[in-house]
Amino acid sequence: MGWDRAPERRPVERAEIDRLKAAPDFPAGLRDRVRAVGAGEAAALLSVAPTRFARLVRTGHLSPVRFYLNRYRSVIWLYVAAEVTAFGEAHPELLTGRLPVALREREAAGEDLRARNWRSRHLALLLRGTADPWARAAAIASLLDPDRLAETVDDPHERALLDRLRPAPPPGLPLTGTARETAERLLRADGPDEIRWHRTNLTLALAEARATRPAPTPSPAPASVPAPVPEEQPLPQAAPPRGAPPRTAPASRPPDRPRARNTHPPGGPSRPRRPGLLERLRRSLPGGTAAGGWRERRDWG
């Protein structure tokens, strides 16, 4: 597989696997460290109400590790249980009593950093999984919508390369329908400051990637030479049977004589009209051509 193709699976370094296996609490401790819980179970770990936990995560005190959509198209965020417990131990003042004024003001303004924090965490995981400059740039570009990406990357060949190296979507993402559209919105940066941050990082990553190797450009297609048109060959004629007289070329047909046209101008003299059949019959009878002679012949006998 070429360098300009995204890997099918994200590789895990052998040293990382050995480090996890060397832990004294492996494998039970590893399961506890990566266990993900929903908002209700996370609130129970902190011994707080679910509404208070929601206020904490909306203001960015905890970062989701994964999300999915339920049958009602609602986004369900999941959190690492070990991180939730560590947060409670480090900030007990946020678990009881009134929240700080600055936090309450941010909450009243409708701030919700859950999707943004998840994108930052997801991008960090993608960048940690590859050292290729173009793949790292593609990971950053995957957080921008096509319009913002086109504004940042002018070269269409570079945009095509970033699209080919685009990382695979997170597992469990809906494939079709409205749920897919909702999930794709969560994959894209939406705030002005977040968009500006990723565009700046993409510009820096592209400068590093271009210094390593330029984006491949398609080679021009060779000019096609039209095939010669074969000349029409006469059909072979069957040989005459034995004893048959030799064939002779058919006599040429004389050209048709042109029909005479009336060349007299309008209103000029015209050619005398040829008598019709009834008039010739009248002339052949005794008494001539006069109408009276014909009536006189009717009285005969």
CATH (domain of 34): 1.10.1660
Whether residue 95 is found in the same domain as residue 37: yes
Pick the last residue of a domain from 63, 95, 112: 112
Residue 251 CA to residue 242 CA, distance in Å, equals: 24
Host domain of residue 56:
21-112
Confidence (pLDDT) at 296: 44
Q: Is residue 32 part of a domain?
A: yes
- What pLDDT, in 10s, does the model give residues 117-154? 999 999 999 999 889 999 999 999 999 999 999 999 99
Q: Is residue 28 part of a domain?
A: yes
Whether residue 74 is found in the same domain as residue 119: no
Whether residue 44 is found in the same domain as residue 105: yes
Q: Is residue 195 part of a domain?
A: yes
Confidence (pLDDT) at 295: 47
Q: Is residue 276 part of a domain?
A: no
Whether residue 26 is found in the same domain as residue 82: yes
Q: Is residue 121 part of a domain?
A: yes
Q: Is residue 259 part of a domain?
A: no
Residue 206 burial class via C-beta count within 10 angstroms: exposed 0-12, middle 13-18, buried 19 and up: buried
- What pLDDT, in 10s, does the model give residues 78-128? 999 999 999 999 999 999 999 999 999 999 999 999 999 999 999 999 999
Confidence (pLDDT) at 114: 96
Whether residue 75 is found in the same domain as residue 163: no
Whether residue 149 contacts residue 188, with contact meaning beta carbons closer than 8 Å, is answered with no
Q: Is residue 246 part of a domain?
A: no
Whether residue 118 is found in the same domain as residue 31: no
Q: Note if the pTM is more than 0.75.
A: no
Q: What is the mean pLDDT of the chain?
A: 80
**Higher pLDDT, residue 222 or 121:** 121
**Domains held by the chain: number:** 2
